[in-house]
Structure 1
Amino acid sequence: MNTSAIVQTQNLTKKYESINSVNKVDLYVQEGEIYGFLGPNGAGKTTTLKMLLGLIKPSEGTINIFGESLIKCRSSILQRTGSLIESPSYYGHLTGLENMRVMQRLRNVPDKNIHEALRIVRLENQMDKKAEQYSLGMKQRLGIAMALLAFPKLLILDEPTNGLDPTGINEIRELIKSLPARYGITVLLSSHMLSEIDQIATSVGIISDGHLLFQGSIESLRKKGRSAILIKTGDNTKAEELLLTQGYSLTKSGSRLEFDNLADREVAEINRLLVEHYIPVTRIEEQKKSLEDIFLGLTGKERSL
């Protein structure tokens, strides 16, 4: 294990009967990152996060957090970890402040932490209101405040913007983005929304059917998406025959011919060949793949998140 990693797993597996919900996952989360754990519903995200917190016992594999074994040092690790899994837990008949005091007794932290955590999530003016009267976004922020109460080194959030309206999503997004620089908190959050991960995360892991398909920076993920060049001619059949004899690899895409990742000089050469053989070129365009296109290419499944 690399002791410089905040979170590192090897062959992490959770089997239910004969089905691997999580299958040999090797997570690597570095200090100061916002690590986006991305995948469709049912991909294994929540199960993985629960194993990181010791809420579920792995069938196989190892978990090291802060360079320590979760099995041997669970209490010490959890003292430095905050989490919000699935949905906030709170007492509806208590105020936001009273809920925070319940958590304070469990975490054994000073009063100043309560007020700072409520200020960070912008609930300081709503702390005397009963939690059952909170909006969905306020309840989510209360859950995050509870997770932040001990100002952990690692914050694990499971779908923190799920069910929120656009304003609530933006508030939570900006809050999370501020945590590494302002408070030295490393964030590991799951999401099924590509747009969220793209806007908030510095690194990403893509999981599907329990398998970790990609792990790295957002930029390295984008680089996996090759640009396509689409060419439309007056006679696509003749153009295809000509270009195949010249060694070019192409596919038909509707009324156009598609080429993967051509250099500018190759586009110019194809255009020259077609014109010299009296095949009119009516359109040349570049089509860049979105993150969703890249995701579908990795999973091989024609479905959106």
Structure 2
Amino acid sequence: MMNASPIVETHHLSKSYGGQNRVHQVDLSVHSGQIFGFLGPNGAGKTTTLKMLLGLVKPTEGQIKIFGKDLKSSRFDILNNIGSLIESPSYYGHLTGLENMRVMQRLRNVPSKNIDEALKIVRLENQKHKRADQYSLGMKQRLGIAMALLAFPSLLILDEPTNGLDPAGIGEIRELIRSLPGQYGITVLLSSHLLSEIEQMATSVGIISDGKLLFQGTMESLQRENKATIRIQTNEPARAEKILQTLGVLPRVEGKQLVLDYLRDEEVSLINKTLVESHIGVSRIEEHKKSLEDIFLGLTGKEKSL
């Protein structure tokens, strides 16, 4: 699947406002069937990038290709096949959920059976006769997603789809998004500033900070960047270090702990046996893996509130 040409491809995509780069030379590549998580702190350039993909913001430089076509020359065809929810959902508060969907159906020129199907996917079929201004925040968000799904697009672009929702609402949206590629053949590109969200939903990830794309690849490849370490706590770290050096093992000493790059179980076992036989007390052996947050901080090289 990865050999096929990407559904979304940007080349040197940049946007500057008043001489300041909001998005700088971003080369995105999103393939069919992916849930692509676009991750970065608030103000990193995620929304601006998504707006450029939808033709809502004009790039300062760079190219955008969607479905293999240039956005500049095939804008109408491309946008006809995309559903999107950017920032907060737009709806008429005085109309019911169903009436809002009918307005969108006429705009998108799709059959009315799509309305029932889209409302069912977002689990609003039993609330469709209620006025939209009486919906909870989670229901409004689901209505926004139903509108974006109405034409059953090949690509769905969602900007911070779980923003402001309670844990139950977040769980529902997460489950809904995860079902879209398999059940409906919809590729999803979603942004979030929450690492936990991307970790639980995305199959691929792009990490952006200060307008620059720092990492792009599968979630597995990101986790592979994350080499586990073994930490051994001992009452005599300096002596333990010398003994391990005779085995050809070069630990780093941090307080009372020896830190070693990842080792196989039998190697850990041998180290433990050697230390115990040398009358060095080993009180704890732990495997440490970085969280996605640690990896993010390693890539950005600075602390950012996420």
Q: TM-score, normalised by structure 1?
A: 0.92
When residues 85 and 243 of structure 1 are mapped into structure 2, their CA distance, relative to the original with a 3 A threshold, is same
2:301 paired residue number: 300
Please report how far the alpha carbon of residue 265 of structure 1 lies from its aligned counterpart in structure 2 after TM superposition.
Answer: 5.2
2:21 maps to 1:10 = no
Q: Secondary structure at the match of 2:14?
A: strand
Q: What is the aligned partner in structure 1 of residue 78 from structure 2? A: 77
Change beyond 3 A, Cα 1:89–1:274: same
The answer for the alignment partner of 1:212 in structure 2 is 213
Aligned equivalents of 1:82 and 1:156: distance in 2? Answer: 6
The answer for the alignment partner of 1:87 in structure 2 is: 88
Q: Distance in 1 between matches of 2:235 and 2:31?
A: 53
CA RMSD across the alignment: 2.1
Note the alpha carbon deviations across 1:59-102, whole angstroms, 9 max, x for none: 12111000000111111100000000011011111111121122
Quote the residue 1:165 is aligned against: 166
Match of 1:287 in 2: 288
Q: Which amino acid aligns with 2:293?
A: E
For residues 122 and 271 of structure 1, do their structure 2 counterparts lie closer, same or farther at Cα, with a shift above 3 Å needed?
A: closer
Contact 1:3 1:67 in 2 (8 A): no
Structure 2 unaligned regions, length at least 5: none
Distance 1:169 1:148 in 2: 18
What is the identity, as a one-letter code, of the residue corresponding to 2:121? I
Residue 260 (structure 1) shift: 2.3
Report the CA distance between 1:113 and its aligned residue: 1.4
Structure 1 stretches of 5 or more lacking a match? none
Aligned ranges for residues 34-113 of structure 1 at < 5 Å? 34-113=35-114
Q: Which amino acid aligns with 1:301?
A: K
Equivalent residues of 1:14, 1:21 under 8 A apart: yes
Pairwise CA distance, 1:279: 3.9
2:188 aligned partner, one-letter code: V
User: What per-residue deviation string (whole Å, max 9, x for no partner) do you get for residues 118-145 of structure 1?
Assistant: 1211112211211111100110011001
Counterpart amino acid of residue 170 in structure 2:
I
In 2, the alpha carbon distance for the partners of 1:134 and 1:252 equals 57
Q: What SS does structure 2 have at the residue aligned with 1:118?
A: helix
Aligned to 1:200: 201
- Which secondary structure does the structure 1 equivalent of 2:215 belong to? strand
Separation (CA, whole Å) in 2 of partners of 1:276 and 1:44? 56
**Alpha-carbon distance in structure 1 between the residues aligned to 2:288 and 2:156:** 38
Cα distance in 2, alignment partners of residues 19 and 271 from structure 1: 55
